[in-house]
Structure 1
Amino acid sequence: MMISNLPRDLVEEILARVPVKSIGAVRSTCKKWNVLSKDERFANKHIDKAAAAAREKEYLIITAGGSMDYLISVSIYETCNKNFGLSINPKAISIERLGHSGRTVFISQAFLSQGLLLCVWSNSKSRLLVWNLYWGKRRWIECPTHCLNEKFAFGYDRSCGSRKILRFSNDSPHMEIYYLSSDSWRNYDASFNRNTIKYTEPGLSLKGNTYWYARDYESKDGFLHCFDFTRERFGPRLPLPPCSQSFHTVSLSSVKEEKLAVLFSPWDTDSALDIWVTNKIEPYEVSWSIFFKVETMQQIYHGFNSSHFFIDEEKKVIVVFDRYDEAYYICGESGPFRKMYPREYLYTLAYKHVGCYVPSSVQI
């Protein structure tokens, strides 16, 4: 019997076992498969099976190459001699760079929340892009006004699943929330004093909310700050892990959209590099445990400065990108850091780590 003559239920069961990265090939094979693959019931079944069968996690990274930005996926693999390496998908997805006042503008902020990617271009008339990578659907969003030093947050209401975007700036009294379900903006009245808080890096979407590493303008103390999209309010200042040394940079990452990880990068090679992971993380409560510690940075390039990192909890592996040397450092639990220059691939100037990708059937 030809596959075209098989019952729909059997065809659906076969196609549901196809890897998520190959769904584009399925859709282009024939009209019947294209219609089937875009059915929401099939999509949910396909995503569930793919997640259960996945041996490798995909980490999305935005890179620069020529006149375009690209979205690439990176996964960690284990070699036969118990080392770890990086597999970079050469099939990068191009992302439009926006022009503004005669110059090209790069993506300044990016968020990944339940399979939806939000890209923000700085100084570009505040244009936003929401993108479902599984469906290949994009939505462009125009902000009603433009102001300097804008901050964004991306998440969803955990009571109903409604997707939302928060927009604010320390240079403007206005704060706004965009609702994807109604394609509309609404003014938001903040209940905290933004002038006392400095957000040093873009935020990180996690479990429907957005978290920032922030500092107090007067005391210089660092802490986590969260916007709760369900209650539509900012939470209290959450404590960081009990580290006593001074650090050059503090970077955030996510672990399967369930935990938050924080990397403390030291000023010098005589100090330790620490990575901590949350045991519990909510807008009003956090607890920590140490995940990885490098007692001396002398085994790493002297000018090391991390701009992004990701970890695999099961494999006990960390990957850190050195933005000065444009190299990856990868290390397992039992071995020293290895430095990798993935020069054989295009688009390797990685400048923004987005997060661990989990496909979503959500329509936008």
Structure 2
Amino acid sequence: MTMTITNLPRDLVEEILSRVPVKSIGAVRSTCKNWNVLSKDERFANKHIDKAAAAARETVYIMITGASRDYLSNVNLCETHNKNFGLSINGKAISIAREHSDQTLYLSRVFVSSGLLLCVWRTTINNRSRLFVWNPYWGKRSWIERPPYCWYERFAFGYDKACGSHKILRLRTNNSNKHMDIYDVSSYSWRTLDATFDRHLIKYIEIGLSLKGNTYFESEGRFLHCFDFTRERFGPSLPLPLPPSYPSRDSVFLSSVKEEKLALLFSPRSTFRVDIWVTNKIEDPYVVSWSKFFKVGTETMQRIDHRFRSGHFFIDEEKKLTVVFDMYGQINKSYIIFAESGHVRKVDLGQYSGASVLVGCYIPTSVQI
């Protein structure tokens, strides 16, 4: 009897399919009814995610935005023939279908927290925001009911460590009034917190990022602030590893390292240099300490004649590399690779110049939404 994949033992089929990349799981489900059922089995899903998570810890994902669709694509560092490093961007990625192909919506911001993505959309008509939470592994999304309109708002995404439920933070202002709202993904409901926040935070929450359930963001380049989604409160101001006094026009950007550490890029415009730091200790919203990853000297930056205007970046600690995406403006979008050895390489993104939103390290989850 000839053995084909259609009559292999279930355990063997499960082992084979568990090695399929996450981005291809949709194709697996559409191949046949049996594979569709198997791929949605909890035991298989956990096995597949464990394998995918191990690979994902070495992979960075970016959002590619287009005229009719947006998608999540993985980016890998690859060594070129001349011993330089470049990026390999996977063109076959996980697509985010727009609701009814609505051309009035554009993707404004993406937040990642423990395998779920919060996508913030804006309308081209009145710039009002729309939100949905998306699990790329299951290919499912949940549109979030909008709270009452306000003239200025910012969002953050994290989860409650006590119960595991994901939550959305909304900071809003109307005239001089400031409010904090929380959306609980598990109960599908908004509520207003009996708390307030520093007036400067709402200007900077766009560059906040989720790490270990909480959201961190910098305030005027001088302090870190952390929103604790378990206690639903801001922690104290945390110090940044920067000079005590410097011009506000200097560039300060945050990123994360494999959902384990915070990273910071500091570029003073007066000297052109770049300092890159990572946390060696971070304990929720109350304690943080930093160590220097490496720095790029003034002469190197002058050689490529570049000043940072946007701060999407990621770090490969093993290779001692930092990749910075310059997504400012509409043309000539590029990425720059810095090496600890002092080498630097600037590359035009070319056909991927629409990659305007950096997501960071995405690790799949079986959480249902």
TM-score > 0.5, shorter chain as reference: yes
| Counterpart Cα distance in 2 of 1:303 and 1:79 | 26
| Counterpart Cα distance in 1 of 2:310 and 2:343 | 17
Range moving further from structure 2, 236-245 or 148-157: 236-245
Q: Which residue of 2 aligns with 1:353?
A: 358
Describe the SS at the equivalent of 1:12: helix
* Offset of residue 187 of structure 1: 1.8
> Do 1:128 and 1:140's aligned partners in 2 also have CA atoms closer than 8 Å?
yes
The TM-score with structure 2 as length reference comes to 0.87
**Residue of 12, 29, 32 corresponding to 1:30:** 32
* Offset of residue 198 of structure 1: 5.3
* Offset of residue 75 of structure 1: 1.8
* Offset of residue 70 of structure 1: 4.2
CA shift in 2, pair 1:327/1:225, >3 Å? same
**Residue of 153, 177, 181 corresponding to 2:186:** 181
Range moving further from structure 2, 136-145 or 299-308: 299-308
Deviations 1:91-125 (A, max 9, x none): 2525539999xx94533332001111101124554
Correspondence list, 1:77-226, <5 A: 77-92=78-93, 93-94=95-96, 96=98, 104-122=104-122, 124-171=127-174, 172-190=177-195, 192-195=196-199, 197=201, 199-202=203-206, 203-215=208-220, 222-226=222-226
Q: Which residue of 2 aligns with 1:315?
A: 319
Describe the SS at the equivalent of 1:298: helix
Correspondence list, 1:169-318, <5 A: 169-171=172-174, 172-190=177-195, 192-195=196-199, 197=201, 199-202=203-206, 203-215=208-220, 222-243=222-243, 245-246=246-247, 248-268=250-270, 270-281=271-282, 282-296=284-298, 297-318=301-322
Identity of matched residues, %: 63
CA shift in 2, pair 1:195/1:242, >3 Å? closer
> Do 1:57 and 1:357's aligned partners in 2 also have CA atoms closer than 8 Å?
no
Structure 2 segments unaligned to the other structure (5+ residues): none
* Offset of residue 259 of structure 1: 0.7
Describe the SS at the equivalent of 1:350: coil
Correspondence list, 1:339-350, <5 A: 339-343=346-350, 345=351, 347-350=352-355
> Do 1:213 and 1:222's aligned partners in 2 also have CA atoms closer than 8 Å?
yes
Structure 1 segments unaligned to the other structure (5+ residues): 216-220
| Counterpart Cα distance in 2 of 1:82 and 1:184 | 53
Range moving further from structure 2, 163-172 or 233-242: 163-172
| Counterpart Cα distance in 1 of 2:215 and 2:304 | 31
Describe the SS at the equivalent of 1:212: strand
Q: Which residue of 2 aligns with 1:16?
A: 18
> For this pair of structures, how many residues does the alignment match?
352
* Offset of residue 253 of structure 1: 0.8
| Counterpart Cα distance in 2 of 1:7 and 1:307 | 50
Deviations 1:68-107 (A, max 9, x none): 544333221233543211011112525539999xx94533
The TM-score with structure 1 as length reference comes to 0.88
| Counterpart Cα distance in 2 of 1:308 and 1:350 | 11
* Offset of residue 55 of structure 1: 8.2
> Do 1:113 and 1:206's aligned partners in 2 also have CA atoms closer than 8 Å?
yes
| Counterpart Cα distance in 2 of 1:259 and 1:161 | 20
Partner AA of 1:115 in structure 2: G
| Counterpart Cα distance in 2 of 1:106 and 1:55 | 27
* Offset of residue 138 of structure 1: 0.8
CA shift in 2, pair 1:47/1:65, >3 Å? same
CA shift in 2, pair 1:18/1:196, >3 Å? closer
Partner AA of 2:138 in structure 1: W
Range moving further from structure 2, 103-112 or 347-356: 103-112
> Do 1:63 and 1:70's aligned partners in 2 also have CA atoms closer than 8 Å?
yes
CA shift in 2, pair 1:30/1:3, >3 Å? same
| Counterpart Cα distance in 1 of 2:315 and 2:80 | 17
Partner AA of 1:332 in structure 2: A
> Do 1:84 and 1:331's aligned partners in 2 also have CA atoms closer than 8 Å?
no
* Offset of residue 226 of structure 1: 0.8
